[in-house]
Amino acid sequence: MSHTIEIAEGSRKHKTWVAKIIGPSKEFRFDRWLVPQDKGNTRATKKFTLADGFYDVCDMGGRRYIKVVDGVAEPTTAAEIHKAIKNNQI
């Protein structure tokens, strides 16, 4: 199952992107992989199709973490992501 997220297009000062968290990082909080945008985006929005997992979402400069389980996205925390990494769930 997958989940589609739609975020604002962004600007030079306020970037927008979605990255899948793939493990720990010594340099940054998490090691991430940028998710490619879906085709057919508009000038105002970007769409991303997400598989199950943890994601870092930057929407117009604001950052948040989400977890996708069985195609359903819900907010999560850095602590929960660290716990999943520790338990080899990522």
Mean pLDDT of 74-89: 95
- Sign of the torsion angle spanned by Cα atoms 89, 20, 14, 59: negative
d(CA 23, CA 45): 28
Tell me the pTM. 0.89
Find out whether 59 and 48 touch, Cβ atoms under 8 Å: no
Domain boundaries, the chain: 3-86
pLDDT tens track for 15-58 = 889 999 999 998 888 999 999 999 877 778 889 999 999 999 99
Identity (one letter) of the amino acid at 30? Answer: F
Q: How confident is the model at residue 80 (pLDDT cuts 50, 70, 90)?
A: very high
pLDDT greater at residue 49 or residue 9: 49
